[in-house]
A and B are shown apart, each in its own frame.
Chain A
């Protein structure tokens, strides 16, 4: 792989002209809004645009000294970690079934990919019916013991409901990658292990999982980032952040403070913090986890 070939352009400006549209898009849709948010985070912006005043770090101080904010950070991490664990775990199990050619696997290989194509608000509405304490599928819990299931008043139930919906959405995405990963493991290795007497679980633990590590690592990063940033629609449709702020995830709090509460500056400060958190987490994962992986 050492003989790298470099394609050279005759003129100096042509390559720039070719990447310009891409750069422009990134600038307009990413750097510009981020810059604007950064500016707002250090000012107090009047909602109707009547002017703003420079307040330095005050917005950040207000955010960090707010008990509600730290609560939001804690539950966002909890949500991201449990959604990721559940989504990857379930997807791995399903991918293994398909990989082992369990009966009917061709059919649900196709079915498994569908959920990823459903928009989050639609998922939210469907799951709201499923989890409805009075008339949903989960209502049987309340028939068995009244008050056993109530996501409208019990924060833990509401969080459970969100995690299940969030994970359900991610399972299909993970499934595609994990199945591809499993199928790229040479048959010979698996068969040799089987001949040596290793059962399916043993083969999974000692052989397939280590070989799948790069895929798993990739999925952990994608799932975590997705849980932090794309949980908005589910929260908005299913719980609205309640009850008692128990599902007020960071990304939803930014929306409700900024757009519902018209506190643009506080929301801008929060979104900067969220961005740094996601960037930082990804950095840590690459720095410390990736080093333990072997790609070849």
Chain B
């Protein structure tokens, strides 16, 4: 299957938005070539601020620029944008409720060889607790473009989480992103697999493996993590025998936690949260890391069968 670059889709979409909307300002902190904001920067040097290695200043400044009526995109790696500058995101962006879009790239184990210092496994957990913040993780290049267009057109803070690597093409060009609505990629009556971002393609693979063993697994792309699509979540909790969540993130505070927090209060459901278990990442290729930490189709199959055997 064709793989497409998520970051290229981001850079290209920003450029197109910049051509249409003169009110968009883009910021980066010396990672413009990595995040691909450089594409916008080359054409709109006046509206592009590479602030250098000053992430705190970048995020508060983004708030200040936005307070004059601009829409500001600020990018860095997720580990810095959500972790290093958590307080600036909290106070300058969310408390002020300004039109700032934090577009983080290089989340989780997908970072690969740079190792743990650059692998954000806590960013969803951190961002999710902030009032006014909304979180989206697109699952392919097309969805990335639609998501970037969506956040540009809707006021207020967003955190968009983009993976470093290329991902399978899932959606065709007619795909319409619906904010706050899960995208059901595959129906299924036995078990529901909820995945985000780079884990969606692996989950699709897992569903095919399960099919060979006559297990009918639904696959749901939960690209909007906050607010959670409660309706779809509840429907699958009721119509299947269990739920598995899969994310390139800590098992604490991410997608799985969101689902569990909701279901445990309205419809307690057998669940398995697949993610990184209370550990830091390490160096290695992304694929080897996914194997090392158990974020693979085989693991999903194993956990699915375990839930079904016990239910």
Please indicate whether A and B come from the same complex rather than being unrelated chains: no
